[in-house]
Amino acid sequence: MATGNKPFPPMHRVAGFKLGTTSAGIKTPGRSDLVVMELQPGSTVAGVFTQNAFCAAPVVVAKQHLSSAAPRYLVTNTGNANAGTGEQGMIDAQASCIALAELQGVSTDQVLPFSTGVIGEPLPIEKLLAALPAAVAALDENTWASAAEGILTTDTRPKGASLQYQPDSATDKLITITGITKGSGMIKPNMATMLGYVATDAQVDSELLQRALRLVANKSFNRITVDSDTSTNDAVILVATGASGIHIDESNFEHFVAQLEIVFIELAQSIIRDGEGASKFVSVVVDGALDSAEALKVAYTVAESPLVKTALAASDANWGRILAAVGRAGVEDLDVSRVSVRLNEVLIVEAGGRAASYTEAAGEAAMAPEDITIHISLNRGAPEKTVTETIWTTDLTYEYVRINAEYRT
């Protein structure tokens, strides 16, 4: 199940960034499950990683390597998370880096490893190592689509986004930004099993690139939740190859970030649209909050409420569940008489109770579409002094339960 019917988009190649995909047979024979990415010399790299204390071995190694050298290669396997695997997991993560480094004549710490799949099972490292030459042989700048397929697990479709923009009206040169992601369940990134790779041909120094990544990740991947579970393996990597020759500095940074945000939000929303078992794409908008933390507290409480999510799955306008979630969100001194709630454009709650204009038929009509907006106004102050935040989530269906009950079978 998935919402929307958007096909995989055309992907602009990013000069200086190549991708190669093959099958290592890590979990399913014949399925693409190993992706190598090559960065041209001089590229800069930024990363954000899971906040889960039980982070996977490849996350530990990737963070170590990123802090000590300029990465030249990324290697990703699916089918096995290499998480909860102790010392052997660390050895295996390093082994993948050593093997790829030897193949390509770079140092081991110039390789960043990534894994996604079942937690707690040993990584079949021999299969991965044997398949590396085939992945390297497939390296090409025009293989984003096959790489997007190669990083999937329970996803039902590949996810990508790409754009080009003109940073300066004085020149006709374009900057390209292209990315892929994967994720369907165990999704609440807190930088879910979620991985994202975005590349640009802009020239950006490491510090500025990391700043840009944190800004856009906070407005995209850190604003989604399927099931409130944060994975052990989350990672988002942003690469700037510099091949366009267009330098990003403080003068054009804001424009660059705005374009990055478009790609990142598209990728983040594609994860929600393909959430495990999802039949609804839900935007939870909270306005009139005193600050961002307050707005997010309410939005996440509503978005992650099993009762709200099951009502969404049934297209049941059980608005009392939304009120209950708002009330338990922990907003200090909340005046419930000022709260209003809309489902799409239908006002369902005002002055702390059912809106006089509300009818059950209107509520049912509002809940029928695949795309639903739950708009909560806290009205905690003057509009110009309050904050609005949006979280994207899914409903909770029987199919979600089936997928996760059968995950290891």
* SS3 labels along 349-383: EECCEECCCCCHHHHHHHHCCCEEEEEEECCCCCH
Average the pLDDT over 215-240 and give the result: 83
Specify the pLDDT at position 400.
81
Q: Which helix (H) or strand (E) holds 298?
A: helix 292-303
Q: Which helix (H) or strand (E) holds 237?
A: strand 235-240
Mean pLDDT computed over every residue of the chain = 92
pTM: 0.91
Quote the DSSP letter at residue 125: H
Specify the pLDDT at position 190.
47
Specify the pLDDT at position 383.
83
Question: Bridge partners of 283?
Answer: 373, 392
**Which of 134-148, 155-169, 200-214 shows the lowest mean pLDDT across its residues?**
155-169
Indicate whether 127 pLDDT > 50: yes
Which one of the listed residues 193, 232, 241, 394 is annotated catalytic?
193
**Which of 58-62, 183-187, 192-196 shows the lowest mean pLDDT across its residues?**
183-187
* Amino acid (one-letter) located at 137: A
Q: Give the fold, CATH level 3, of 281-405.
A: Ubiquitin-like (UB roll) (3.10.20)
Proportion of the chain above pLDDT 90, given as a percent: 78
Q: CA distances (Å), 155 to each of 19, 71, 129, 147, 324, in order? A: 20, 28, 25, 14, 32
Look up the CATH architecture of domain 17-273: 4-Layer Sandwich (3.60)
Specify the pLDDT at position 227.
61
Query: ∠123-23-73 over CA atoms, to 5°?
Result: 75
| Domains in the chain: boundaries | 17-273, 281-405
Specify the pLDDT at position 185.
47
Indicate whether 294 pLDDT > 80: yes
CA distance linking residue 73 with residue 97, whole number of Å: 9
Contacts for 20 with CB less than 8 Å, ≥ 6 apart = 35, 36, 37, 38, 134, 135, 136, 137, 138, 139, 140, 143, 147
Residue pair 65/227 in contact by the 8 Å Cβ criterion? no
Indicate whether 122 pLDDT > 50: yes
The full DSSP string for 271-294 is: HHHT-TT---EEEEEEEEESSHHH
Contacts for 201 with CB less than 8 Å, ≥ 6 apart = 14, 15, 16, 17, 175, 176, 240, 241, 242, 243, 244, 246
**In the numeric block, which tokens belong to residue 384?**
């110009």
Mark whether 193 is an active-site residue: yes
Specify the pLDDT at position 4.
66
Average the pLDDT over 208-225 and give the result: 93
58-83 pLDDT tens trace: 999 999 999 999 999 999 999 999 99
The residue ranking higher by pLDDT, 130 or 396, is 130
CA distance linking residue 169 with residue 173, whole number of Å: 9
Indicate whether 187 pLDDT > 60: no
Specify the pLDDT at position 155.
83
Query: Greatest CA span in the chain, whole angstroms?
Result: 72
Phi-psi region of 115 (alpha: psi -120 to 50; beta: other; left: phi over 0): beta
Specify the pLDDT at position 409.
65
Average the pLDDT over 369-391 and give the result: 94
**In the numeric block, which tokens belong to residue 345?**
């454009």
Average the pLDDT over 244-269 and give the result: 96
Confidence grade of residue 194 (pLDDT, cut at 50, 70, 90): confident
Indicate whether 174 pLDDT > 70: yes
Indicate whether 404 pLDDT > 70: yes
Residue pair 285/373 in contact by the 8 Å Cβ criterion? yes
CA distance linking residue 109 with residue 84, whole number of Å: 22
318-350 pLDDT tens trace: 999 999 999 999 999 999 999 999 999 999 999
Average the pLDDT over 11-28 and give the result: 96
Specify the pLDDT at position 63.
95
Indicate whether 89 pLDDT > 90: yes
Specify the pLDDT at position 192.
40
Confidence grade of residue 1 (pLDDT, cut at 50, 70, 90): low
**In the numeric block, which tokens belong to residue 63?**
């963070």
Contacts for 51 with CB less than 8 Å, ≥ 6 apart = 190, 191, 230
Specify the pLDDT at position 399.
84
Specify the pLDDT at position 52.
77
Proportion of the chain above pLDDT 70, given as a percent: 94
Residue pair 104/139 in contact by the 8 Å Cβ criterion? no
Indicate whether 158 pLDDT > 50: yes
Indicate whether 263 pLDDT > 70: yes
